[in-house]
Amino acid sequence: MTRYPTIADVSASLASKQTTSRKLVDAAIAAIDDPAGQGSKAFIRRNDARARAMADASDVLRGAGQVRSPLEGIAISVKDLFDFAGEVTTAGSVANNQSAPATADAPVVQALVRAGAVITGTTNMSEFAFSGLGLNPHYGTPLNVYDRSTGRIPGGSSSGAAVSVTDGMAVAAIGTDTGGSIRIPAAFCGLAGFKPTASRVSREHVLPLSTSLDSIGPISASVACCAVIDAIISGETDRSIRPIPLAGLRLAVPQTVVLNDMDDHVAASFAATLSLLSAAGAHIVEIDVPEFAQLATINAKGGLIAAEAWHWHRNLLESRGDTYDHRVRSRILRGRDMSAADYIDVLEARTAWQLGVNDKLASFDAILLPTVPTIAPTVASLEADDATFFAANGLTLRNPSIINFLDGCALSVPCHTAGSAPVGLMIAGGPMTDAKVLSVGLAIEHALNAKAA
């Protein structure tokens, strides 16, 4: 597995005066500007002068002995859904570029700035965050660092977020996750990604897709990086996450739905990981979760996403609908045909479904499943055919979206062998088990890294 610079790595270089924030940010900007790279497709909004000024300020503070957080002076990218005062939040769309500028920075942005992070810009995404694949017909699709000559997708919707990290344009990225939009690009690109329990991180001044399912979290080089950023953007900066010994952990592996349609490489990587954890003393328990098979029926009319997306988009679709990506527009329009009774039916079904799932998970430290059952498909195959696109989108979103419907939390960590196609292992838990999931994730990541060493 490729090792990317971690927050700890960069912080150590800054602390030892081997480099400065300004040098690091200049290097990140150079990577974005590189005509041979993916910067023009990975970023939508940039303010290089602001980034350099933030880096200079950080260097002055560090020189005076002031370090505000582990993110001090470190380059971070932010998905194009987040408000920056005075800027138009486009959400990866041209339909929204005539909207009024934001009146304030999003609280997540404010938290990053207070922590001393240097924001390099806002990253590309599936239009309005409505796809797990990352294609964008307006701004282009940044290519996955793996097998770039073939041209594979980075995953979505936080596509540019992942590419900004793999290509040295940021040390970490902030994304959103409604049905896997942090974990999918992390899995496809060989990174760590964390979707927290939604209520823990403010979604104010973040353009919504589904108010019931949206959550905000990091994509970065390691679980430790995710834990640092999660603590800062959630305001839980006094929290300390440490690995839990693997010996004795009870880890559930659901057998219902989530292992279907795995390609051979994902299946082999997942099986090898389970064997590694079992050898380390973890108790791997196969369980049936029949509720997972009920989700397709519960969401048959479009579910919460379609209804809540239609609520937000209905006026913009009327005035600017012809400028939308047709694949996004068609899914939002499903919400137009849902009645209030249909919406309430889904809410009620979700409550009962959550009770059933949480009861089955209560005796386990975490559940394990493949983040995505396939490796990243090619851009060309998805652009060419709507049926291929929608089939791939549904399969890609299937596993991670279960955790959003649960209102749970989940990590994706790389579990493939070095040099092979990236594969993500999802480590998940129920609502507000974030600290436990991160601790289990740290232990599993350490075991995987030790094997790879």
Catalytic residues: 79, 157, 181
Residue 120 CA to residue 52 CA, distance in Å, equals: 9
Residue 133 CA to residue 389 CA, distance in Å, equals: 8
What are the backbone angles phi and psi of residue 323, rounded to the nearest 5°? Answer: -95, -5
DSSP 403-425: HHHHT-EEEEEE-SPTTSPP-EE
Burial label for 230, CB within 10 Å (0-12, 13-18, 19+), is buried
Pair of tokens at residue 319? 């005035």
Nearest to 202 by CA among 274, 128, 108: 108
Helices 223-234 + 7-15 axis angle, to 10:
80
Q: Cα(first)–Cα(last) distance of the chain, in Å?
A: 10
Pair of tokens at residue 182? 């942090």
Pair of tokens at residue 400? 């991670």
Nearest to 121 by CA among 186, 170, 189: 170
Pair of tokens at residue 444? 């599993």
Q: In what order do the strands lie in the sheet with 283-287?
A: 43-46, 118-123, 75-79, 172-177, 215-220, 192-195, 409-414, 424-429, 366-370, 250-254, 283-287
Residue 35 CA to residue 218 CA, distance in Å, equals: 27
Longest dimension (CA), the chain: 62
